[in-house]
């Protein structure tokens, strides 16, 4: 199935402010029991966001020593509704549908009340990724998948109805399914393969070198902004840049800014304002440590790839779908936005997820 993408209804992609996420209100143990049933501990309206700290008890060895002892999670949704665990790229946070102040979360364009995946019909849980903020250690995705197991335990849930992961979040979802072998959880995997593509690893390796050099020189934030701009060139497509910008520079100065560079500078600065260079190094390298055995993953799965994706080419998604051990649906869509289609094509991506969820309701 190859639907054609369009710009209607796309997310305004705003980099989540991790400094605000670090200040999420912490719920009491009795609040979590209420949240597990979709109740508002404060007595408010159905679906009010409940945020809590997740003790990471499933970590061991160096990962337990180098990663934080707890991460943030947030859950919203009506009482008794099926629980969806939703994970995104390395910049994603626990605030998926809504933030504690009521403003839209990072994937609000799909997960919201009345949205493509209706937050009024499901409980939706987001979880922060665990990272070494110093940048000295990168967990593999099996280690990272502890955040799912431990968040479910903190919420008093044995399993989720489904885990929906895009990009790095899809890698973590696959690793969770292989490591913890849930009996009834379904997987929706978007633009995430069984292993990283060599070209994408090469691009990320250069980005990490830029950031590491910047940190050594005391300009880690500036270096991270450049690395993020480099990353944007892999997330998006040549066709989009051709439609949006003029090429070339007007000044005789070799480092003068072009129209596309001004865009990349802006996106890089926005990212660097809310993400620490060390955290980026830890999670970027975690992507390149990802390896799973799809044959060992028995969960029913929805696999969505993007024909124009430069980070996870469609051949990788086809190979994943062909080797997963459970019943699998594969969709390859077309999108101007390449790897970022999961953020920019909410009607297509959200529609596929919603229809697939209905088949298992």
How many Å apart are CA 20 and CA 350, to the nearest integer?
Answer: 27
Residue pair 323/194 in contact (Cβ under 8 Å)? The answer is yes
Catalytic residue of the set 150, 309, 335, 340:
309
Residues 53, 57, 59, 62, CA torsion sign: positive
Q: What are phi and psi of 322, to 5 degrees?
A: -75, -15
CB-CB neighbours of 160 under 10 Å:
25
For residue 28, which of 7, 46, 45, 51 has the smallest C-alpha distance? Answer: 51
What does the DSSP 8-state code read for residue 104? B
For residue 160, which of 117, 128, 125, 113 has the smallest C-alpha distance? Answer: 125
Read off the tokens for 187.
């997987």
Question: Is 17 noted as a catalytic residue in this protein?
Answer: no
SS (H, E, C) 131-195: CCCCCCCCCCHHHHCHHHHHHHHHHCCCCCCEEEEECHHHHHHHHHHHHHCCCCCEEEEECCCCC
Catalytic residue of the set 108, 290, 331, 339:
339
Give how far the C-alpha of residue 337 lies from the chain's centroid of Cα atoms, to the nearest Å: 16
Read off the tokens for 102.
């009521």
Question: Is 167 noted as a catalytic residue in this protein?
Answer: yes
For residue 123, which of 152, 150, 94, 85 has the smallest C-alpha distance? Answer: 85
How many Å apart are CA 242 and CA 246, to the nearest integer?
Answer: 7
Catalytic residue of the set 10, 167, 191, 284:
167
CB-CB neighbours of 99 under 10 Å:
22
Distance set, CA 143 to CA 23, 62, 84, 95, 291 (Å): 25, 10, 21, 22, 12
Question: Is 150 noted as a catalytic residue in this protein?
Answer: no
What length does the chain have? 361
Question: Would you name the residues annotated as active-site residues?
Answer: 167, 309, 339
């Amino acid at each position: 199935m190859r639907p054609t993408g369009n710009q209607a209804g796309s997310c305004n992609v705003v980099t989540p402010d991790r400094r605000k996420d670090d200040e999420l209100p912490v719920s009491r143990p009795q609040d979590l029991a209420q949240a597990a049933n979709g109740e508002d501990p404060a007595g408010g309206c159905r679906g009010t966001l409940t945020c809590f700290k997740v003790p990471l008890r499933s970590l061991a060895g160096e990962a337990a020593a180098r990663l934080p002892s707890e991460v943030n999670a947030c859950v919203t949704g009506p009482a008794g509704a099926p629980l969806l665990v939703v994970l995104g790229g390395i910049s994603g946070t626990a605030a998926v549908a809504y933030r504690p102040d009521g403003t839209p979360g990072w994937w609000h364009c799909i997960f919201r009340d009345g949205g493509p995946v209706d937050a009024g019909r499901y409980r939706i849980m987001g979880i922060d990724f665990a990272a070494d903020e110093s940048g000295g250690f990168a967990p593999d995705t099996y280690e990272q998948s502890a955040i799912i197991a431990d968040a479910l335990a903190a919420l008093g849930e044995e399993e989720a109805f489904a885990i929906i992961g895009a990009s790095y979040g899809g890698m973590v979802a696959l690793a969770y399914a292989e490591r913890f072998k849930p009996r009834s959880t379904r997987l929706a995997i978007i633009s995430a393969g069984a292993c990283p593509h060599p070209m994408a690893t090469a691009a990320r390796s250069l980005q990490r070198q830029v950031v590491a050099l910047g940190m050594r020189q005391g300009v880690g934030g500036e270096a991270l902004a450049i690395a993020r701009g480099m990353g944007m060139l892999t997330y998006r497509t040549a066709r989009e840049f051709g439609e949006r910008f003029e090429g070339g520079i007007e000044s005789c100065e070799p480092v003068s800014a072009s129209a596309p560079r001004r865009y990349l500078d802006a996106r890089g600065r926005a990212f660097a304002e809310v993400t620490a260079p060390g955290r980026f190094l830890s999670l970027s390298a975690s992507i390149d440590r990802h390896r799973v055995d799809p044959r060992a993953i028995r969960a029913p799965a929805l696999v969505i790839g993007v024909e124009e994706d430069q980070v996870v080419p469609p051949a990788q998604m086809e190979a994943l779908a062909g080797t997963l051990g459970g019943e699998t649906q594969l969709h390859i869509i077309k999108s101007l936005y390449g790897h970022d289609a999961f953020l920019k094509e909410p009607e297509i991506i959200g529609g596929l997820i919603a229809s697939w969820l209905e088949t298992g309701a």
